[in-house]
Homo-oligomer: A and B are copies of this chain.
């Protein structure tokens, strides 16, 4: 096991990355709260389910797409169901599981959240960097994805 020391540039980039992303998310959450809307996590689920279409998704598929623990997804879906934003259907070929589908209210809620969320992205990112810089940023970040499980 080798202990490594990060370069000053790496430390600086890390600090900025963590701090900035926290601020961006926090501001967005605040904006949603101020509008009486649910948190971003709800949007993520509604978004994935909307993308998935009529077939819906199994909870475990949702877990891979949004980065949440199994129990978090389980509870999140329970709340979304109580609010009528999704529906759970038994799945024929696997008695353990279920399929989750977005409802009409769910689509409507997704739209309402996006009005705020999208504006927040535009304010905080879109208006501050050129399209070219945004591409550069996304590309650099892309190289940090999916670190191969270290040792």
Contacts and interface: CB of A to CB of B under 8 A. Distances in A.
Given A20-B144, A21-B21, A126 B67 contact: no
A76 to B, nearest CB: 16
Contact of A122 (B6, B118, B134): B6
How many copies of the chain does the oligomer comprise? 2
Interface string A116-151: 001101111111110101111110111111110010
Contact of A10 (B12, B22, B125): B125
Interface residues of A, number: 53
Interface string A1-43: 0011111011111101111111111110001000000000000
Contact of A118 (B6, B22, B115, B142): B6
Contacts of A7: 122, 126, 131, 134
B23 A21 contact: no
Contact of A23 (B16, B129, B145): B145
A7 B129 CA distance: 11
Q: Which 5 A-B pairs have the closest CB atoms?
A: A10-B126, A21-B21, A9-B134, A4-B122, A6-B121
Interface of A: 3-7, 9-14, 16-27, 31, 67, 115, 118-119, 121-129, 131, 133-138, 140-147, 150
